[in-house]
Structure 1
Amino acid sequence: MTPPDHAGTVPEGDQETVAAEDDPAHSVTLSVAAVARRLGVAPATLRTWDRRYGLGPSDHTTGRHRKYAPLDVARLELMQRALLRGASSAEAAKYALTSRLRAPLTAVPPSLTGGELDGGSAPAGGRGLKLQAENRRAKGVGRAALAMDSAAVQSLLADAIEADGVVTTWDEVVRPVMAAIAARWEHSGAGVEVSHLVEECVLAAVIRATPVVTSPRNHRPVLLACMPDERHNLPLYPLAAVLAQRGLGTRQLGAALPADALASAVRRTAPSAVVLWAQLPRYADPGVVAALPRTRQQVRVFAGGPGWERGVVPQPAERINDLASAADAIERAVC
């Protein structure tokens, strides 16, 4: 073999060999390092899957380098996606080994997405997230989030919304996962990027599930806004989705809406109701509620979010709590 030059570069002929081994598009078999990069896992994980479940390279023999054939990689992809969908390692490996594969994986069977697998359950939360409740969909979203797989997170959320609705998905999937991520951050100081990724995926999934209401049942809109300086506006989106599904028209005013802008919006739209969200107690200012401008027609005011739990909600404003009861209260008020 030709030695490298003084700069430490690989000779031209050997560069082609390396590319053939590590580039999935130009090789018949892949090295451990190439497969690990393709799946986004550590090489040690592949060795563990091989040793524990028999998901290793089919052409590996003693004294030879480990090389993964396309079907080997397809089985590993099947196992990885099944893990992200909420299956335990043993369940995912069993399915990958018993599946008949003729081509690279393109989809995960529904049996791995709906929590219908038999066998022992994985530790709650899996891979670092400790969920308070046992929920396969939440565990799948948690695994996908920690893997920074936004496509899997959005796909799981879309499946959950289609199967169970926005309210159940929010209460049983999104909130537990977000709480587990927050607890992980409080314990280790890590995971801010995971939280941001999940929030963006939730936002996208909920917006897709929000119908456009062209002929609303309420003649005057419902304004949804955060208190001044409050930037946690994600919970307003599932509320808007549920109200839209019930045929109610809303106006989203977003995060950190200044008090004068809120007053202007109330004057211009003459809403039937205003929802003011405060995630943190320091933003739950009763003075903002009391200062809302008076209109000719009555405006129902609702104070939502955990920030109001210990604060004072001035009359005649009403405190709303969980998503389902909040939607019910608003619907009664405006219809």
Structure 2
Amino acid sequence: MAAQLGVSPSTVRMWGRRYGLVASARSEGGHRRYTSADVERLHHMHAAVISGETPAAAAALVLAGKQRHDDATDWPVTAGTSRYGGGFVLALPGAGRTAQGIGRAASRLDEIGAREMTLQALHELKTTRTWNQVLRPVLVATGVHWQHTGTGIEIEHLLTQAITAAFATYVSQLPEPAQDRPVVLAGGPREDHVLTLLAVRGALAERGVPVRTLGARTPTQALTSTATRIRAAAVFIWATKPANASEQEIRELSENHRGLTVVLGGAGWRQSSIGSGTVCTSLEQAADLLDQSWRRKVRKGLSENPSLS
């Protein structure tokens, strides 16, 4: 059932446990079986959550017999008025329905709703489209709201937690990649904002590329040590502004690991290349370069050690 809906099994179990949306029939062996009515209810529940309803509100509508019509605007949405908070909705002009739903959930401080909608988008659209078409517009709107009003930092923090949890679940559900010559992802030595690393990790996991994520404020010494210990094929370093990027440290990293592919992302890197590092301008470009580097290093290792093939 979870696969049919495109959500995690734990989500279906949670809907059953909390809201009574369980299989109503049983097999001769006593196992629960979903009837067509049960399946229809779960589809309506899922549609309501994607529309921006909290799981509790969506369940109440479904159990009351209200159904989503083909036109999504006919499905009742209570954005901005839920018990989770509300008071305003993030401005997302021109954004798609899923981005709007995540924005409404985040505005209501509905972490579960934002997480489940993000996870659903990842299953349906994969990482690159989810990041570019769904998550980036919401994150930008959150930042703009804070800049204009000085409020809403709690929305950004909650959204960060929801996105982090969704990516962790999504990646764990993908086939486990090979572990030879992983790619290392890290924030620059002074970089705190590293959600982009989750998107890079997701895009690489979909391609079967092994990854080690070190996170925010990674010292160059730690990055160098990690690359040595695990024989990394490549490293990706993220910096959102020049103050968070250390070009001298990148040159030192490149000099200490002359065979290491160094890929740089974010507005902090002002040049097209730094040392032996390449500055990327998109998630797609970064994933392509890191993927190509990993496959090249793995092929080289196999050619040098035929017994490993």
TM-score (norm 1): 0.62
Which consecutive residues of structure 1, in runs of 5 or more, have no partner in the other structure?
1-77, 88-94
Query: Of 130, 138, 147, which aligns to 1:169?
Result: 130
After superposition, the Cα gap between the structure-2 partners of 1:175 and 1:193, relative to the gap in structure 1 and judged at 3 Å, is same
Give the drift of 1:235: 0.7
Letter in 2 for 1:332: Q
CA contact (8 A) 1:84 1:143 kept: no
Asked whether the 8 Å contact 1:167–1:242 carries over to 2, the reply is yes
Q: 2:72 is aligned with what amino acid?
A: L
1:321 and 2:276 equivalent?
Answer: no
- Tell me the SS of whatever aligns to 1:209: helix
- The structure-2 alpha-carbon separation of the partners of 1:286 and 1:170, relative to structure 1 and needing over 3 Å to count, comes to same
The alpha carbon displacement at 1:83 in A equals 8.6
1:1-335 correspondence runs (5 A)? 82=48, 85-86=51-52, 103=63, 111=68, 116-117=71-72, 127-211=88-172, 214-216=176-178, 219-292=180-253, 294=255, 298-308=259-269, 310-311=270-271, 313-335=273-295
After superposition, give the CA deviation of every residue in 1:19-58 in whole Å (9 maximum; x if it has no partner): xxxxxxxxxxxxxxxxxxxxxxxxxxxxxxxxxxxxxxxx
- Residue 296 of structure 1: how far off its partner (Å): 7.2
Query: Whole-Å Cα distance in 2 between the matches of residues 203 and 283 of structure 1?
Result: 22
Structure exhibiting the larger radius of gyration computed from Cα positions: 1
CA pair 222-268 structure 1, distance change in 2 beyond 3 A? same
Letter of the structure 1 residue corresponding to residue 260 of structure 2: V
For the 8 Å contact 1:167–1:324, the answer to whether it is kept is yes
Q: Percent identity?
A: 31
User: Separation in 1 of the partners of 2:129 and 2:272?
Assistant: 29
Match of 1:39 in 2: none
Flag the structure with higher helix content: 2
TM-score, normalised with respect to structure 2: 0.67
Query: What is the aligned-residue RMSD (CA, Å)?
Result: 3.5
State the alpha-carbon separation in 2 of the partners of residues 171 and 214 from structure 1.
25
1:319 maps to a residue whose letter is: V
Equivalent pairs counted in the alignment come to 238
Which amino acid in structure 2 is aligned with residue 207 of structure 1? Answer: A
Q: Given that residues 273 and 302 in structure 1 are in contact (C-alpha distance below 8 angstroms), is that contact kept between their aligned partners in structure 2?
A: yes
Q: Distance in 1 between matches of 2:221 and 2:252?
A: 10
1:178-226 Cα distance to aligned partner (Å, 9 max, x none):
100100000000010000000110000011111476552x731111111
Task: State the distance in 2 between where 1:230 and 1:266 align.
Answer: 19
Equivalence for 2:28? none
SS in 2 for 1:275: strand
**SS of aligned partner of 1:274:** strand
In structure 1, C-alpha distance between the alignment counterparts of 2:50 and 2:104, rounded to whole Å: 5
- Bigger relative contact order (CA 8 A; separation at least 6): 2
What is the CA distance between 1:128 and its match in structure 2? 3.5
- Find the residue that maps to 1:228 and give its secondary structure: coil
- Partner deviation per Cα, 1:72-113 (whole Å, 9 max, x = no partner): xxxxxx99x9497259xxxxxxx99xx8x7x458xx96x57x
